[in-house]
Chain A
Amino acid sequence: MGIDAIIALIGTLIPVINNIVGFVERTAANLKQDKEMTPAQEAALDAHIEAIDQPAWWQPDAE
């Protein structure tokens, strides 16, 4: 693999690694939940789930 390809590969992976690191940090915080959600927190989670499939990465391959 040439140097240009390696640089391109790293450029692709860095945002993904940041994405995963962010997930790990958020999960660590979420796992500390030790009481039932408030109605406002429930509403926020419901709204998040409702809109979760809007981005391009949730769209299946064209049939």
Chain B
Amino acid sequence: MKQRLATRHLSLVTLLLFSVACASVQPGNDPVVVDAERTTTVGTDAFDTFLKSEYETRATLRAVSPEVYQEVHSYAEYLRAKVDDGSGIRMARAKGWLKSARALTVAYKMNRTAENKASLQTILATINAAVAETQKYLAQAAAAH
């Protein structure tokens, strides 16, 4: 039962990621910008969902599987950890990524250079990787229950 739930969840995530690869862009719209905005929107929701789920189930998860709890909680704390955003302002690491993605999207829209595109795509890769991690840990937590 637990394995089926975890498997179904992972299947949903796989389907969603496949959908990202296949999504088309309307003519006249920059695919780089559309992808950046999609990734940022999905990332915002994914981080919030993961952290809320971890927060609400940590006591239960710690009781049923201390090992899985430690892994899931550690990654959640990694996302929550306050780091300097480069201008002296400290904020949650995940929030910093999202704000950077927005700033770099705006910078690219104003000046669509190869350098701005590369900077934007670097932060988007970071967000996508982190979103994949949150899905992995959600599946682990579901399987543990």
Contacts and interface: CB of A to CB of B under 8 A. Distances in A.
Interface in A10-61: 12-13, 15-16, 19-20, 22-24, 26-28, 30-37, 42, 45-46, 48-50, 52-53, 55-61
Nearest to B51: A57
Contacts of A30: 38, 41-42, 45
Nearest to B134: A23
A49 B44 contact: yes
B60 A24 contact: no
Contact of A20 (B9, B16, B24): B9
B3 interface: no
A35 B32 CA distance: 10
A42 B29 CA distance: 15
Contacts of B49: 19-20, 22-23
B5 to A, nearest CB: 9
Given A13-B145, A60-B81, A36 B53 contact: no
A58 B29 contact: no
Given A27-B16, A31-B23, A36 B45 contact: no
Contact of A36 (B19, B29, B81): B29
B57 A13 contact: yes
A45 to B, nearest CB: 6
A9 interface: yes
Interface of A: 8-9, 12-13, 15-16, 19-20, 22-24, 26-28, 30-37, 42, 45-46, 48-50, 52-53, 55-61
24 contacts: A9-B60, A13-B145, A15-B56, A23-B45, A23-B46, A30-B41, A31-B23, A31-B38, A33-B38, A33-B41, A34-B23, A35-B28, A36-B33, A36-B34, A36-B37, A45-B37, A46-B102, A49-B98, A52-B44, A52-B95, A53-B91, A57-B56, A58-B51, A60-B77
